[in-house]
Amino acid sequence: MRTFNTINETQTWCRDHKRQGKSIGIVPTMGYLHAGHLSLVKESRSQCEITVVSIFVNPIQFGVGEDFEDYPRDLHKDSRLLDEAGADALFAPSIREMYPPGYNSYVEVSGEITEKLCGRSRPGHFRGVTTVVSKLFNICVPDMAFFGQKDAQQAMVIEKMVRELNFPLQIVRVPIVREADGLAMSSRNVYLNPEQRRQALVLNQSLQKAREAIAGGERNAGRVKDLLCHTISTSPEAKIEYAEIYDAASLADVQEIDGSVLVAMAVRFGTTRLIDNLIVEV
């Protein structure tokens, strides 16, 4: 596996492979990799001839008081895992490399899709995401880009950006990878103490109860949302940031559940913010 730290060497290497007619897949990450990230690498390898993984803790997608400084990092371990997983290249730039002095260019997706869920509680977050992802697309010139369904809103925002700005690539969503007990894998899970880790299981449990209610014929979104919140609140340390049901394609409000809906939540356990979601078809 090749490791690059500069934009020029990464872009040159990727363009050389493109000229050879090889397809490129990119897996953008912030590192501290787990099985969820590696499932994206596996999917890229199955569909593309070259797989590039980026590791960059992007400062402009973190708000004031968020965990940028404390975000877990272990580049040595990440590099080993990627090599074992068969990635062809790792792009691990510095902040200065991505945002040199005087940097002042941003990409922003506006409207309902960025104003709800994480967009409401993390102002400016998605501007940071779309800016860094658009830079990665221009640097690595991929044919396909792989994102996890756990960050469902992020995937939707990037899909909209790619569609509307005519990026010549395909976005692929990969299903959520969970621990054996159902907790969605996340780099932030390391922050949880043992009791918080046990209580965090309520997230997936509440999603499954919502799925069961809908499968049983419940179509009132408000009542399903009440069920979600009630179930989450059975964990004493859980502090709900949001628990919502929206149209899965547009994040439009829904009163009656019909078609495909996204059931999504963000919940804090102590200082640790966890997200999870489920798409339900009726």
Question: 55: Cβ–Cβ under 8 A, 6 or more apart, which residues?
Answer: 29, 30, 31, 75, 78, 90, 91, 92
- Which tokens sit at 225? 């949302």
Beta bridge partners of 279: 262
Integer Rg of the chain from CA: 19
What whole-number distance in Å separates Cα of residue 162 and Cα of residue 165?
5
Tell me the CA end-to-end span of the chain in Å, nearest whole number. 44
| Tokens 């990119």 sit on residue | 26
119 neighbors 145 (Cβ within 8 angstroms): no
CA distances from 110 to 60, 118, 119, 248 (A): 17, 14, 10, 17
Q: Examine the residue annotation and report whether 76 is marked as an active-site residue of this protein.
A: no
Which listed residue (17, 37, 76, 125) is catalytic? 37
**Which of 216-231 are b and which e, b meaning 16 or more Cβ less than 10 Å from the residue's Cβ?**
eeeeebeebbebbeeb
What are the catalytic residues?
Answer: 37
